[in-house]
Amino acid sequence: MPNYYCKYCGQRFSSLAMLETNHCIRHPEGPQNHHELYEKGEQTHYVCKYCGQKYFSIADMTANRCPHHPNGRGQGRHAPEE
Ligand SMILES: [Zn+2]
Ligand SMILES: [Zn+2]
């Protein structure tokens, strides 16, 4: 069975419907929004598209704010390359 990952919080879902109907606490526009699919799927590691730091899970990556975020230093979370 395939796994689906949210690109904002790294939560894993066994169905796309579950991912799309649940709210994401790390959504950049607020937790009233839904999870969004990470299109590249499961990887051995994930690299932040802003600062290049490497993580072994999206959940670990997006737990922290990124010093090179385009909105300003620490104004948003690290985000995986797409
Ligand atoms: Zn999410
Ligand atoms: Zn970063």
- Ligand nearest to the backbone CA of 9: 1
Distance 1 CA to ligand 2 centre (A): 31
N residues, the chain: 82
Residue 6, pLDDT score: 98
3-to-9, 13, 62 alpha-carbon distances in Å: 14, 6, 18
Output the six-digit token pair for 36. Answer: 């969004």
pTM to 2 decimal places: 0.93
Distance 47 CA to ligand 2 centre (A): 8
Distance CA 10, CA 59 (A): 4
Distance 7 CA to ligand 1 centre (A): 6
**How do residues 56-76 score in pLDDT, each as one tens digit?**
999 999 999 999 999 999 999
Distance CA 48, CA 68 (A): 10
**How do residues 3-14 score in pLDDT, each as one tens digit?**
999 999 999 999
> Sign of the C-alpha dihedral, residues 24, 30, 33, 38?
negative
Residue 67, pLDDT score: 97
